[in-house]
Structure 1
Amino acid sequence: MFNVRRLVFIWSLTVCSLSILAQNNVGINTNTPDSSAILHLESNDKGLLLPRLSITERNNMVNPATGLIIYNTTDSIVEQYNGVCWVPTYSENCADCSVSYSFGQTNYQIDRANALSMTVPFSVTSSNQSGLSLSVLHDFSEESNVVMNLDSLQSSGNVSMEIQTSVFEDSGAHVVTFFSGCGSSMAIHAIEINVSPCDQVVVSADQLNFDVSADPAVSGNNCVVVTILENVGIRSIEDTIPAFTTGTLSNTNLGILNYGYVYGDGGDAPELMGEDADNGGDAIHLTCDTEIRNHGMIYGGGGAGLTVGAFESIDIGGVFTVCLAIGAGGGGGMPQGLGGLSASGGSCSTVIGFWEQGNTAGVEYDDDEGEAVNRSETFSIPTPVVSGNIVITANSGGGGDFGEDGTTSSQPIDFSGSELGITVSIPFIGDVTVPIPIGPLLNPIANTINSQFNGAVTGTGGYAIRHNGNTVNVPDDNYQTYWIRGRVGN
């Protein structure tokens, strides 16, 4: 009986084996496996569990067969060995890879009232260890700069994007799109950067002593853009008051877009000799960080020149006294700097001299500054005994052009060329006039007068932009160009 059962078992096993060999495939939970499959699995509540290996375990396999499939537990992906390398099942070759991004948030805000830049950190993960490309596209204007900081990124790691924007950038939403890939795979991710608005001040008509902080359009959000339209002028009526000032604004990001012109007032020349000349007025006076786009003219006022003026009593050898009253006003600085008033005064029975007011500067950029007065006069001295000529020359200082200093004179008062003639009656010959040069005798008097002039200070040119230590995008220098005339500095 035992042998019969054993014989039946062997016969059944042989029949099954022959059936499987004849069928050439295996079906689990199906009696009709697909003819194209060597193994056909069917289930509605179970799956196929592949061998699960970490990257280290996978790489320790010796001579893996081409087509071998595993589940990579390190990267959580199904991989196959293609005879050269392990690749995800969706990749075509060893150069293909998968890429993913991780951002801390999806919407970002640049509040220009507080800062004009921001950093966006994120991480990139790639399945390929051989390299990763990463690029970015954005819809910011040329006023902004977007830079990727990749450091030593090879395939995965932390990345940061730096955005430096401007007060002139358009407000609202801006889209930044990231592209990364390796081989034939690519991943795309977009984020939104919202840029806060700035107060907009538009200067459409001529202004005198314009104060930005007093403009009704300034709401106090600490971001302001001032646009000066074409052919619009901003001027000053006093050389001590700037034409354009930011007033009480501080801790503010300011932008100036200038298509017009901003002129500081010209300095006025002094009335009397020995007085200092006025400085030229500032065009722009800043109290906050400012970015300037200048398509027009920004000119500091010109400094004024020095005035010559004297009233002196001159004793001529104890014979007689002559009073000299001399005046030549200094020139005013551009624009509209007033010329100095000539000096006169005192009393004397014999007065010689002249008085000439200084030249006032023009108004527009192509006008002249107040030129120096250079005047020479000859005065005769007719007496029975003494005759001659006193030659008086007065040279005042001139006003400066836009942003330039006023000038002085190396010889304000000069008596060179003066001479006397003493007439002597000689018997049998008649009257003989003996010429005596007196210029050298009068020069000490001229030197005394000139010492007062030389002690005075000419007016300095006004600043085109006085930033008072605030940040501005125009380098410190002394400019004389069509666009800027005068100093930029503190």
Structure 2
Amino acid sequence: MKNHISAFLIALSILYTQNQAFTQGVAINAGNIPPDPSAMLDVQSTDKGILIPRMTLSQRDGIINPANGLIIYQTDNTPGFYFNSGTPSTPSWQMVGSNAGAGSQWINNGSGIHYSDGNVGIGTDNPVSMLSVNAGINVDQSDSNGFGSLASALTFGQNKRVGIASNRSNQGNVQKGLDLYTGSLRRLSIDSTGNVGIGTTSPQYRLDVSGTARFNNIIYATYRLGIGIPDPTYPLHTSTGYFNTRVGIGTIPNSSYALDLSGSSRFQGNMRVTGNLTTEGNLLVQNNRGIVRSNSGTQYKIVPFSFTFSINAGAGVGFESGAISYGETFSGTPRVIVAQITTASGTSGYLGWLNIIPWASNSSSTSFYVTNVGTGTLNLSTVTVACLAIGPQ
């Protein structure tokens, strides 16, 4: 009986002691050091660690209603410490720590990755934007981006319809250059030789534009410019040239002219002028064998006109006509030239007996002296002679 009483008293003492320990926290150490007041469990050792339950992935997922915050060590399928960040009914197991294993989002390798106030720096410890990289960035290292795909490209926006991707051949993953996408379509392509295509994925020239292009400022070509000509042979070579306002060649075009040339010009075909043809020098044809040539500062002009008359005169007899108008007025007295007889009708004599001499010419008209230089009577009812007046404008 005495022994039973003693055992009962010892059991009560142990229960009291345990209750006191749980109330104050539990300490496990080799020196009977009391637990830290802030800890429910305080384990201290200099040569031993602590083991929590170790289990496989399937065993972990077999835990019934795991508490939120429950920790286990998983031994397979990316081993590491995991905790339940979900609820007992809907657990969500997450790996613990930023360097806990191969499955971690961040694995330190030296000191190249830095986080500062929401900015991430790679290769720099002072990132100035959300992501700052102090070296090159490699996209699609595994060459997985296929033809016409933005899967492994540098994309923008939630729908990923805009991006930069490597130019791929539809014959396989052969990198040919660089493409810029908008609306999920390739808009600008740079091929492996450096040719740039806009609206075409196979540029044949340094700049190959398929469609309408607009330049609001200066186009400068140091060699040749071909418009409608793939291989120009001249500094400006067009298939059908058309300029809306003014063109200057060798000079800035004067506002009074649609075409302003500085230097010699050559026309190898017909030239048509629908208005006046004005020259500020001589008008030359075939190396100075021109139609009209002036050695003064006055421009010359040619005016055709005709002289019609009748004659009935014996040998050596003639007459003087009245004033015959040129049809235009000159600034000075022109030279009058009698050309061919265009019409003639009569009853006697020969046309070769006619002698027609311009007489008393002035700026607006001339007279003619007509003489029968034959040996008999010259009787012509109608004679028309083509004439030219050549003089200052």
TM-score (norm 1): 0.27
Higher RCO, Cα 8 Å, sep 6+: 1
